[in-house]
Amino acid sequence: MRNCTASGCNRSRGRSASPHHPITPSPNPLRNFHPSDLVLREQLPLTASPVQFSVIAVNVLYAVIGVVLMFLSYRTIDRLTPQVDFPAELQRGNVAVAIFVAAIFVSIALIIGKALG
């Protein structure tokens, strides 16, 4: 927007403060906000969302099965590659073997996760 006077024109961004275009403050939606408005004022009944122990038990069982399958898969790959001693290489700080083992764990976790889910 340009503000032109007798001395020349200049550009300004936004509204000008001239009497023809007064700047009106925007309404603030948080003006009447108080933190106590976030507090739950009613006690929810305990029967609204009962804890289903069978679902929790199944999830724990799936987690245990996943860990066991992960260990068995690692031991299987370790036995299929007798020329590489994974624990000894990891203790020596072999980064390539560490990345390989991590990739094995991630891929097996994805497979087990999809199979159990």
Reported in sequence order, the residue ranges of the chain that DSSP labels E, i.e. its strands, are 2-5, 8-11
**Predicted TM-score (pTM) of this structure:** 0.49
- β-strand partners of 8: 5
74 lies in a domain?
yes
85 lies in a domain?
yes
Q: What is the pLDDT of residues 43-98, one digit of tens each?
A: 656 555 567 788 888 888 988 988 898 899 889 988 999 898 999 999 999 999 99
88 lies in a domain?
yes
44 lies in a domain?
no
Q: What single-letter DSSP state applies at residue 38?
A: G
Give me the pLDDT at residue 54, please: 82
Structural domains in the chain (count)? 1
Q: Return the closest-CA partner of residue 67 out of 15, 115, 18, 108.
A: 108
Q: Which amino acid is at 34?
A: H
Dihedral of the alpha carbons of 7, 9, 15, 19, in degrees to the nearest 10: 30
User: For the chain, how far is it from start to end, CA to CA, in angstroms?
Assistant: 60
CA atoms of 87 and 51, how far apart (whole Å): 42
- State which residues form the domain around 81: 53-116
Give me the pLDDT at residue 90, please: 92
